[in-house]
Copies of this chain bind each other. A is one copy, B any other.
């Protein structure tokens, strides 16, 4: 049996990544999702084990020490990262798994697992990015400017990714992601067994 494929998805604030992920999993419920480990407190509406595993700082530092993370980082005093084992288990079973991370996390995973396939979600234009970030209407000018800068900093690293998905129309962007995933299964190195099966009979 073939190993599954690891897909990395990143998208800056304003790329519409969150809505895109919801629509993607509606359309492809069979895709596994990598649950991040984080040390910050649970927020209202969050459920343990859905998007995050909430663990202590001590547990997280133990995982770092034992090299049990594919990537990790810290943000305002808390750690967040991707545990290695669940990802490895799924691909061993032949399942594809999606890891949602930022540009730093994506670079760390690619270094450890160069066979992972990475996708970057882009806003269709600078103007649309501005519109999306300011359109929420509830934040200060200052916060919007900060978000914009952080998005642009991530977009500057988009060329590190294998595929760029432009999220103008959500349905099209979801189909683009599905095409990338499907095409990766069709790569020669993933289809070797079929060639061998046919040839061993002759």
A residues at B contact (CB < 8 Å): 120, 122-127, 129, 152, 155-156, 158-159, 161-166, 175-176, 178-180, 182-184, 186-188, 191-192, 194-195, 197-199, 201-202
Copies of this chain: 2
Indicate the member of A120, A162, A198 with the most B CB atoms within 10 Å: A198
* Residues in B whose Cβ lies below 8 Å from that of A199: 126, 152, 155-156
* Residues in B whose Cβ lies below 8 Å from that of A197: 125-126
Cross-chain contact B159 with A198 (CB below 8 angstroms):
no
> How many Å from the CB of A37 to the closest CB on chain B?
29
* Residues in B whose Cβ lies below 8 Å from that of A192: 159
Cross-chain contact B201 with A155 (CB below 8 angstroms):
no
Cross-chain contact A194 with B166 (CB below 8 angstroms):
yes
Q: Given that A129-B198, A197-B126, A198-B126 are contacting pairs, would A191 and B164 also be in contact in the complex, using a CB cutoff of 8 Å? A: yes
Cross-chain contact B155 with A198 (CB below 8 angstroms):
yes
CA distance in complex: A2, B6 (Å): 28
* Residues in B whose Cβ lies below 8 Å from that of A186: 163-165, 176, 179-180
Cross-chain contact B195 with A159 (CB below 8 angstroms):
yes
* Residues in B whose Cβ lies below 8 Å from that of A162: 187-188
Cross-chain contact A163 with B182 (CB below 8 angstroms):
no
* Residues in B whose Cβ lies below 8 Å from that of A124: 194
| Apart from A126-B198, A163-B187, A164-B194, 9 more pairs, CB < 8 Å | A152-B202, A158-B195, A162-B187, A162-B188, A163-B183, A164-B186, A175-B182, A176-B182, A182-B183
